[in-house]
Structure 1
């Protein structure tokens, strides 16, 4: 796979999504960001934004307009990623993750925004 992607980190969770799936991103000032969705390390919604999450980013598409908060957001321009399928025994029917990639020596799950949002919001 070659193209533009965005690496998102929430705690130990690292995700790579197509850049086209991402909308506006901004820094969260102290005292704001309570309207952001926040993911745990296991892709479950958290009840509140963790204090260290200082980036709010929206996804494009069906879930546009709802900010999600992240510890890190990094744009990967014109990169070649080698997707490795997650073993079938580890994939449930509704998981948004079917593969992972290596970025700078660390693993990140490959997914798209629609699947990620659908999964996280359905689990809430």
Structure 2
């Protein structure tokens, strides 16, 4: 009986962690972006789910469930890229290309890094902005 209680106590935090991020992903995939934003923020704050930053960055980049905000998108995507999310580099490059003063040098560097790390989105973003890789 004690073993079962100990195991249950050990697994509860794991299920809690999966819940906010998983629920956020479910909301994101079904187009409930306002709910996804809230859940991703909870996943970061309460569970340390750093990959949720990538999806928050996408929400701000595209203005889904939030007002479009390139500054916020840049912050979230940069943090995601810093922890190794290759896809974040692709979308961070897109932020640099959409700024009032586009920075094509930084964008190109990020696109190449993301592509080298296996993020195919970088090719599509480069093509959309007519940037040869």
Q: By percentage of residues, which structure has more strand?
A: 1
Higher relative contact order (CA 8 A, sep 6+): 1
Q: By percentage of residues, which structure has more helix?
A: 2
Which of 1 and 2 has greater Rg? 2
**TM-score when scaled to structure 2?**
0.20
